[in-house]
A and B are shown apart, each in its own frame.
Chain A
């Protein structure tokens, strides 16, 4: 894995429907300056900047990294932009980490953002070409059939999705940065909301948010403050259209998890990992990823959810921050997972801190569940 690398600073903006009070540059600077402040550093201490965001169609600014370079203190420094659809926030962290693990730099600033209020996500994701039949369904319409197939195969009861929706939104009430705050949310409330893309209900889907997240990564000799050490880092992708492709539990996700576990010495993820921040934009993806990531046997992930194992006080808390279901500035959503994993092992997660968390998983997926990015961080030096 190369040189040791640690997260030494985390910065987030408050996630909300519309940040009309700031420009795009102002938004990313807010997160970047908070991350630098957390690390006790300034832009002058940074060697390179890596920026991630989802499709440029969201804001209608082509290659925004070019215009954001100087806003992020990158003048005269290397600047890279990463794009792997919804997983981009995770991939951006891993590209940043690779610059340190490869011995190229000592301190890298990683920033990911989305300002979705500048247009509309379903519009930006449904730009169908001529000649084809127009089935504008957005991300929810794309993933709903795969959720239906999971429900059929696993025989999971219908209410599992609602349980995840309630659990993550209750966690969000403990996170000052979370977008959705629904005091008193319960299963009945979730089940009373309409089906948008059956079997996905309104409250089982993620919001559309404006926001940015930033982290500062450092080599061992450049560490300041409280480090979260990277023990494993992996990315995988697979073709979207391939005969026999497993779309409920994609092979690329299994391969990515196997790689990151091998690097970190994880043999039983449910036992060896204390807390996980996993990309769950639709509630049913919690049981689906519990299986894909090896926390539960095939078709049995929903049993962990139902038994409360993934709750904040369960044996393997998933998404104590409230997750993507509570805050979703798409380009940043993956990095938020990675950053929240780091906050947990640094003991800096505030009200949603998992007691004694020493090892955490950060996870992101994107596209048609074809891009995966994961890392494992720990408070122990590897």
Chain B
């Protein structure tokens, strides 16, 4: 159990030390009070010890939980009929306890709640171990967590806990990935600072990155064709949504038609404020220093403006598409 919040024990302590005129005083009947339950509460606690929760039926057919010897509405004696209820129930109302005190049923933040057990017509007050206040709501379904050794006391129910509504399902697929022959050839050239394309002889189109089949006609691409590391921004987006795997926002992802290519590549544009990027802007690859280059597109840091005049796109975008 946690210690009490600052209270009588510490209040008498001043900066000058313990106050000699303040003393601790405890009222506690040795061994605790003996309290007779009567037949109705006794039955309830006896059933609790067997991990069952029962209520009692009133003459008006309501089920009282916890049971009483009388109908609180009319004062009449209840019937002798006991009804097993729960063990699940529904939270009616609740209050969050941020800092539990000594004597509270839980040593971590919890809710006091009125709980209507299934089959009962009245609510029971008990603790709900919900983890966080935002997990609590009227209508929350809960079930008792039983004490290991029940003894016939309301604390035989340690607390109530929410029903299971969500599980965590970790899924992980791990692969070893190798680029195919065409991409390996492309990256070999990228390591040398050269962007390699392939020309489809049938379509007379140059594809970047280099590939060995034409996506349009399907024939084998046999001709390697080096393309320039300069090109034209055909269109772009300014990305403002941060993602740990993406460049720092705002970043510009652009379709760049490299000089000598017939299909644009998607790449980062840098070295210029995002809002100054334009469709038609001329750009050049900014390479990392040769000693830092690997077999990867990371060799190109981004594309930066060349300062040449923009290409006029009103006559058509280079290569036709975007």
Contacts and interface: CB of A to CB of B under 8 A. Distances in A.
Interface of A: 20-21, 60, 122, 126, 128-138, 140-141, 144-146, 148-149, 152, 194-200, 239, 241-248
Interface of B: 165-166, 169, 171, 177, 179, 183, 187, 203, 205-207, 215-216, 234-241, 243, 245-247, 250-251, 253-255, 262-263, 266-268, 279, 295-298, 300, 313, 317, 319-322
A149 B238 contact: no
A247 B237 CA distance: 15
Given A60-B169, A128-B245, A129-B177, A135 B266 contact: yes
B240 A197 contact: yes
Contacts of A148: 235-237, 279
B169 A138 contact: no
9 interchain residue pairs of minimum CB distance: A144-B237, A198-B238, A243-B205, A244-B320, A243-B262, A136-B246, A60-B171, A145-B235, A149-B235
Contacts of B171: 60
Contacts of A20: 165-166
A323 B33 CA distance: 69
A104 B157 CA distance: 60
Nearest to B320: A244
Contacts of B262: 243-244
A239 B215 contact: yes
Nearest to A194: B240
A131 B234 contact: no
Contact of B317 (A21, A131, A149, A195): A149
B241 A138 contact: yes
A99 B207 CA distance: 40
B215 A242 contact: yes
B187 A133 contact: no
A247 B243 contact: no
B247 A242 contact: no
B237 A141 contact: yes
Given A242-B216, A246-B320, A146 B235 contact: yes
Contact of A141 (B183, B205, B239): B239
A135 B268 contact: yes
Nearest to B166: A20
Nearest to B313: A152
A152 B35 CA distance: 86
A144 B238 CA distance: 8
